[in-house]
A and B are shown apart, each in its own frame.
Chain A
Amino acid sequence: MKVTGAQALMKCLKEQNVEVIFGFPGGAVIDIYDEIMRTEDLTHVLVRHEQAAVHAADAYARVKGDVGVALVTSGPGATNTVTGIASAYLDSIPIVVFTGQVPTALIGNDAFQEVDIVGITRPCTKHNYLVKDPKDLIPTIREAFHIARTGRPGPVLIDLPKDVVAAMVEYNEPQPVKMRTYRPTYEPHPGQIEKACKAILKAKKPVFYIGGGVILSNANEELTELSRKLSIPVTMTLMGLGGFPGTDPLSMGMLGMHGTYYANMAVAHSDLLIAVGARFDDRVTGRIDAFAPGAKIIHIDIDPTSISKNVTVDIPIVADCKHAVAAMNSWFNRSKDFDRGAVAEMHAPWLEMIKEWKDKHPLGYAEEKDVIKPQFVVQKLHELTQGNALITTEVGQNQMWAAQFYHFNKPRSFMTSGGLGVMGYGFPAAIGAQMAAPDRTVIDIAGDGSIQMNIQELATARQYHCPVKIAILNNNYLGMVRQWQELFYDKRYSNTTLDTAPDFVLLAQAYGAVGLRATKPSEVEPVIKEALATDNVVIMDFVISREEGVYPMVPAGKATTEMLLV
């Protein structure tokens, strides 16, 4: 069957079960937009800035557990996506970004709105394509989705010259994608699994250190089973939150720079660290030679480049986390050497030690009567949503307080820009999350600085009836940078005071959204309740204690045991 390139694109999206795409039109993609108007079973969300389209697609992908899609025009449309793509790349989120391009005959001519977006995004995509020949269009799209969602997921970009989209192409039914050069390893090596399990049986002070890979591979149930079976405590990276129930007695919360005292102490004193889908990022390890110095390390990851990159691993397991952890579960189920009661008894002193650390320095903050503490707001959000909301965050202190105090029990409920740390991620991400889960409560825990980086999306949220809630922890500062200046730069607050700020309540109203403000602790609960009961976009402006810091804190480059505490 002969169809136009644009029609072929619509058909391919349908093959991939794409129901929602996020985008912004322009000359180079006008043929695609014309076809979108004719395509009934596809919802196009018109964002107000292309960066937002990519963040929205990113969060959509995380909530759905499938590929998110963005569509933008050439030149500035394409360059505006770069931050979003880089964020998805560092967080291993499966998205496909379609960019328009000038006609093939003009490529290389510095034509109007021409940029080499394939060149620009080469280092921040899992793979990218410029489709020069119309007959490559359909196979390229199918391959792109395959690459985005398999192996270690990631963003894939397809650059579509205008004439390729207008050309006639032959459409044929999809075949399974076969690639000569790309075959990720899903199944673990049984010998390595056995080695790992035997090491676990010997360990007296084991710790699970889990990351985003557990969530991406849907390994949370297998991991929870394994941890409980063996009474092994679990700590999560920022990306791993929700990969293990945050309220489980074996959960130690987050580790690293703003991790809990007890998680960092446990890792530092462990004799066996079992890393699952985590990558030993510097925000997690602190000074690398002081990270888990006495521990043997087992590392499960689908990406071989993650293994032994920052620390030397004793037992590497290249595999999908879900498959590997399931294999470990069945090894223990079969093993004659494994006695659940005996292992629990062996680990009891270790769990007791961790409990002592926890009692000594629990995660907390100093309450005050007259000023709102940001941690209190997050606790209240947790309480009033029964921990069931989808939470997105901006970047800075707000992000860390969200991670520390909203105890995530389920995977795919916390969307944050972990690797790149993009201010402006949270709000468009909330829109993407809401499009993926229309019936869920979606809250962007925001800072007053970050929210202004994509505030224009209020129009998008209104237009598509996404009743997302924005909780601004308003300290009138670029708070996280201010905290560093306070601690390490003699309180010289260079350019971190947001002297001129909008009235967020009026701003919400200007977009037809609802604005609420709380200035006293007693107002926090009523404001949240009202917001949750409102079927509209709501900005909650919480005026918080201005110079509150995020603690514990491991200063950059220090050992994780050298924490600054409250």
Chain B
Amino acid sequence: MKHTISVLLQNKPGVLSRVTGLFSGRGYNIESLAVNRTLDPEVSCLTLVSDGDDGIIEQITKQLHKLIDVIKVTDMAETDFVEREMALIRVKAEAGTRAEVLRIIDIFRGKVVDVSPRTYAIEVTGDEDKIQAIIDILKPIGIQEIVRTGTIAMARAKKN
């Protein structure tokens, strides 16, 4: 099963390779990865999505925690959370399809961020399923280029 894991770590050189080295060395897989600073410039937040049975995910979280530079590891599956990724998609938009493309973008609440006579580049955010859905719909029209970020995730605030 897929798990989204959020890791707070010291913002120091080499820390990212400690994380990725752990995955490659132990044969765990990383489906996606996103990392950036937090409000505290000494701390980075890394979100990764991995796949594996419960035993493997438990090992992954423990092994991550064991890294000296890691501050906190949260398996998002244990909480209620929101997750997003973003994709930039350049899609063919010729006379016959331009209007349809715009309609699709609208349905997915995307934005056109670059225009040429024959293409639109669009920005769309959402969870993985939503991004996959728009890709599937645009594919027959002609996707020329696609760039996707890794997933980022945040636990939902307690409601009471």
Contact = CB atoms under 8 A, between A and B. Distances in A.
Interface of A: 118-119, 122-123, 126-127, 130, 147, 179-182, 303-305, 308-309, 312
A174 B34 CA distance: 38
Contacts of B22: 123
B62 A304 contact: yes
Contacts of A118: 14
Interface string B125-147: 00000000000000000000000
Contacts of B71: 180-181
- If over half of B's interface residues share one DSSP class (helix, strand or loop), that class is named, otherwise mixed; here it is helix
A303 B65 CA distance: 11
A181 B69 contact: yes
Given A147-B68, A182-B68, A304-B62, 11 more contacts: A119-B17, A122-B17, A122-B21, A123-B25, A179-B68, A180-B10, A181-B69, A305-B59, A305-B63, A308-B58, A312-B55
Contacts of B59: 305, 309
A123 B55 CA distance: 22
Contacts of A305: 59, 62-63, 66
Interface in B42-92: 55, 58-59, 62-63, 65-66, 68-71
Given A305-B62, A309-B59, A122 B68 contact: no
B65 to A, nearest CB: 7
Contacts of B68: 126-127, 147, 179, 181-182
Interface string B5-26: 0000110011001100110010
A308 B66 contact: no
A424 to B, nearest CB: 24
Contacts of A127: 68
Given A181-B10, A308-B58, A309-B59, A303 B66 contact: yes
Interface residues of B, number: 20
Interface of B: 9-10, 13-14, 17-18, 21-22, 25, 55, 58-59, 62-63, 65-66, 68-71
A126 B9 CA distance: 16
A219 to B, nearest CB: 21
Contacts of A119: 14, 17
Nearest to A303: B66
Contact of A123 (B10, B21, B66): B21
A308 B60 CA distance: 12
Contacts of A308: 55, 58
Q: Which of B13, B14, B21, B59: most chain A CB closer than 10 A?
A: B14
A508 B18 CA distance: 45
Contacts of B69: 181
9 pairs of A and B residues whose beta carbons are closest in the complex: A127-B68, A305-B62, A123-B25, A181-B71, A304-B62, A182-B68, A305-B63, A122-B21, A305-B66
Contacts of A126: 68
Contact of B70 (A181, A304, A312): A181
Contacts of A180: 10, 71
A393 to B, nearest CB: 28
A312 B58 CA distance: 12
Contacts of B55: 308, 312
Contacts of A123: 21-22, 25
A303 B67 CA distance: 12
A130 to B, nearest CB: 8
Contacts of B14: 118-119, 122, 130
Contacts of B13: 130
A530 to B, nearest CB: 49
Nearest to B8: A181
16 contacts: A122-B14, A122-B17, A122-B18, A123-B21, A123-B25, A127-B68, A179-B68, A180-B10, A180-B71, A181-B10, A181-B69, A182-B68, A304-B62, A305-B62, A305-B63, A308-B55
A179 B71 CA distance: 10
Contacts of B58: 308
Contacts of A122: 14, 17-18, 21
Nearest to B58: A308
A104 B9 CA distance: 25
Nearest to B68: A127
Nearest to A179: B68
Contacts of B18: 122
A462 B67 CA distance: 41
Nearest to A132: B13
Nearest to B14: A118
A215 B22 CA distance: 28
A182 B22 CA distance: 18
Contacts of B66: 303-305
Q: Which of A130, A182, A305: most chain B CB closer than 10 A?
A: A305
A127 B67 CA distance: 8
A118 B14 CA distance: 9
A53 B132 CA distance: 55
A339 B25 CA distance: 49
A82 B59 CA distance: 26
A285 to B, nearest CB: 16
A119 B18 CA distance: 9
Contacts of B25: 123
A366 to B, nearest CB: 44
A182 B70 CA distance: 8
Nearest to A126: B68
Contacts of A182: 68
B41 to A, nearest CB: 14
A428 to B, nearest CB: 27
A181 B13 CA distance: 16
A309 B57 CA distance: 11
A304 B58 CA distance: 10
A312 B70 CA distance: 26
B102 to A, nearest CB: 48
A119 B14 CA distance: 8
A306 B66 CA distance: 11
